[in-house]
Amino acid sequence: MTATLTRHTGTTRRDADTRNNGGKYLTFRLDDEEYGVEILKVRELIGMMDITAVPRMPTYMKGVINLRGNVIPVIDLRLKFELKEIEHTDQTCIIVVNVGREIGIIVDTVSEVLDITGDNIEPPPSMGGSLDTTFILGMGKVGDDVKILLDIDKVLTGNELTDIACNAAAAAVEPAPSK
C-alpha cells in the first residue's frame, strides 16, 4: 500500500479563484459603500433618462429604456440590494452591462476605473449558511479602503434575467398609445 502525502497550504479553491480575478474594475457608490464591476462587462455609462415602467415587475426592476433603438431593461441596484430608495441626483447614472444580454443598472455615482491586482482581492467573508454571497466576486483592497467586487452575472438569478428579458421584449412590441 502506498500512501500519498499532500501538504495543505491553507488556500481554498475559492481563494485561488478570487486571486485570478485581478484586472480593471469600474467602481461606483451605492449608499456609503463602494462597489466594482469588471470593466470588460461594461458597455457604456449614460446619465439618467426616461424609463418606461413595465407592469408586474419586482420593485427593483424600474422598466426599460430605448438606447439607440435597442430596448434595455433597467434595474435599480439599490433596491436589488434592499437599500433605501432615494431621489436621483445629477450624479445618478445607468451603467449598461452585458450579462448575456445588455441590462442597465442604476447607481448613485460612478467613481473611477481601478486596476486591482489578484493579490489585493480577497474572497468574500463567510456570512453563514443563510446569506447568499455568490454574487460577490471578492473584496478588493485599495489602499485603506475595501471595494465590494460584484460578479455582475450573478447579481440577478437566471429566472430573474429570463423574466426581465421577456418583459423587455413585450414592452418593445407594444403598440404606441393612440392619440
What's the order of all strands across the beta sheet hosting 93-98?
Answer: 42-47, 93-98, 102-107, 70-76, 61-67
**Do 29 and 108 contact (CB within 8 A), yes or no?**
yes
Proportion of the chain above pLDDT 70, given as a percent: 76
- Decide if pLDDT at 4 tops 60: no
* pLDDT digit string, tens, across residues 94-117: 999 999 899 999 999 999 999 999
| Rounded alpha-carbon distances, angstroms, from residue 102 to 71, 91, 116, 124, 170 | 9, 22, 25, 26, 16
- Other CB atoms within a 10 A radius of the CB of residue 37 amount to 22
CATH number, domain 13-124+136-170: 2.40.50.180
Query: Considering the chain, what is the average pLDDT of its residues?
Result: 84
Nearest to 153 by CA among 101, 109, 111: 101
| Domain extent listing, the chain | 13-124+136-170
